Amino acid sequence: MNDVSRIVVAGHVDHGKSTLIGRLMLDLGLLHQSKIDEVIASSARRGTATEWSYVLDSLQEERDQAITIDTTRLWFTHRERRYNIIDAPGHRQFLANMLSGASEADAAILVVDAAAGIGEQTLRHAYLLAFLGIKHVIVALNKIDLLDAVQVRYAELARELRAALHRTPPAAIVPVSASLGTNVVARADSTPWYAGPTIADAIEAIRRVPAPVERAFRFDVQDVYRRDGERVLVGTIASGAIEAGAEAVLLPAGVRVRAEKLVRWPDGDTSAAWAGESVGIVLDGDRFAGRGDTLAAWTVPPCTAERVALETFWLDATPPAAGERLRLKRGTQAVPVVVDGAPAIYDIESARDADNDGGAQHNIVRLAVRAATPVVFDRRADDAHGSRMVLLRGDRVVAIGFTTDALAAPASAAAQAGVVPVAERKQRAGPVALSEREERAGHRAAIVWLTGLSGAGKSTIARAVERRFFERGVSVAVVDGDGLRGTLNADLGFSEADRRESVRRAAAVAGALADTGHVVLVALIAPFAADRAAARANARHPFFEVHVDAPLDTCEQRDPKGLYRRARSGELPAFTGIDSPYEPPAAPDLVLDTANITLDHAVDALAEFVEERTRLQPGADANEGARVAPAPERHR
């Protein structure tokens, strides 16, 4: 229904948002008598006057603390128009919930306690409403029943509010008492000097905003199903509409396609589908598409870029840092990105730029990111809904915001780093250079060789770090000795010559993976120092030797595969540590003493060590000093 108006109610935690909504429901005649009786009884049990906020505060914790923790939604119809009221949390700790609710709104009611005045939370919420692009704002000056000189105070606050809301000038500033119902639905005799609308009048005057179906067609691919030999792209239409036979563009590939068939379940084929509908789309030809791809209107396509400007509201206590790896989610896309350059922080409360070393949390952060793969997005100026995105560290959301523009690669930085700009790269023939791979991934290639006795924890640590890096968007691979023993090294035994050949082959595999831009974690005993030294000398990439150090008795106690037991019984001759020597590194780049630290500690230490040494600094040659290991560090 195009006449739906979504209204978020925002403001300070104690200024009466929920009470205003509850009173609005009561005075519009939208509450059943049983609900009215429940609110009156609940208030009496707590020894308070009738508290209409209980209409919304469904969580017991909210009632006990008199705050709203999560967004609450109410649907109602008034004078043949449909409304969705969203009660957003006001407390600073629940700002993420407030943003989540407000991001869907067409208009807002900002509740301000007339006695308390404009505080930090009010200023923050006022700025966030503008940040979210909400153009229609109604101010409810609440609790006027507590004032003496009401008209004078109203005039003072109205001036202050218009200054605070200069980005989104208020459509109305209404003096109300939510608890008494003053100017909520009926005009009050106690404010004869006020000639403006009531809250009910003001929401009726909300300007209609374009419905999603009226915007350009966008469809984010959620999955691909096989049906009777057809590939069916499934997902929800984010905006616009599509008809069977219509042309579209498949992004980021940039391929012009035709929607041969539209499928609804369980109804079968359909001729058309609109915004908000879940649908399957069969494309013409043998098209390759997958989760994260986008179908869009051919005539009004979104942007596709590897370097993107963002404007975000930062939720995390730790600010973003240049070179940091994050994950950008937009629609069904989840793309590893690198923070490109120093972010700019705008302090909402002081209305000025802040120090980039701190003060990011709950403020506006503008930054550029480089993506590992092209990002498909709308500019905020073109479509605020289509530009919404989130940033994550691992699985934790650290920012909510918008994609504002596509950016070209800085020519000077690209030239210094020997990187070919994206526009030139697409026209360039020949092999892909390592510098191009590293620039796209946002980190240097490297070989990290974990050596130690069987049972020391090499493979366990390598796999855990691999998972952590993979979640952060790092190009990472593990070369495991056990895996090689059953494949590439199946023809080798345990003689000194065979052990040397085993190390040589493992180093060759690691080098080939590093040539493609990977951080390669090698988990291999490699018992002889000379063989490990040869692997380092022949490496074409930064090479780091990590000693996973655990004494023989500890490894024998662990013996996860029963190898020591078999070696002691003579089943495994020439077993390292029993009847074949192990030469520990004399000067390893890192020591992980797994007999005395936990697995989590070891994984944290190795991940931090590798991240510090593979960070790609702007303007630096990624291969400079590739064979020079840093000074040894020990984590024990």
Does residue 586 carry a pLDDT above 90?
yes
Least confident piece of the model among 287-291, 403-407, 631-635:
631-635
| Angstrom distance (rounded) from CA 2 to CA 81 | 10
pLDDT score at 210? 64
What is the torsional sign of CA 550, 556, 559, 564?
positive
Of the pLDDT bands very low, low, confident and very high (cuts 50, 70, 90), residue 73 is low
DSSP 236-256: EEEESEEETT-EEEEETTTEE
- The string of pLDDT tens digits covering residues 187-197 is 988 999 999 99
Q: Are residues 488 and 502 in contact, defined by beta-carbon separation less than 8 angstroms?
A: no
Mean pLDDT, the chain, rounded, equals 82
Q: Which residues are CB-neighbours of 49 under 8 A, at least 6 positions away? A: 43, 179
In the chain the domains, ranked by start, together with CATH numbers, are 5-204 (3.40.50.300), 212-297 (2.40.30.10), 303-411 (2.40.30.10), 439-635 (3.40.50.300)
Does residue 364 carry a pLDDT above 80?
yes
Find the DSSP H helices in 103-232: 120-131, 150-164, 199-204
| Angstrom distance (rounded) from CA 433 to CA 418 | 10
Nearest Cα neighbor of 176 from 25, 19, 13, 43 is 19
pLDDT score at 621? 40
CA 7 to chain centre: 25
Tell me the pTM.
0.59
Residue burial 539-564, b: 16+ Cβ < 10 Å; e: rest: bebbbbbbbbbbebebbbebeeeebb
φ/ψ bin of 364: left (φ > 0), alpha (ψ from -120 to 50), beta (otherwise): beta
Nearest Cα neighbor of 440 from 428, 422, 423 is 422
- The string of pLDDT tens digits covering residues 403-444 is 999 998 654 444 444 444 444 444 455 688 888 888 777 788
Does residue 27 carry a pLDDT above 70?
yes
| Angstrom distance (rounded) from CA 256 to CA 387 | 22
Least confident piece of the model among 287-291, 354-358, 574-578:
354-358
In this structure, which amino acid lies at residue 273? A
Does residue 98 carry a pLDDT above 90?
no
The residue ranking higher by pLDDT, 612 or 429, is 612
Find the DSSP H helices in 28-102: 33-45, 60-65, 95-102
CA distances to 48, 442, 471, 493, 559 from 615, in Å: 59, 7, 17, 39, 36
**Tokens representing residue 40 in the block:** 């009156």
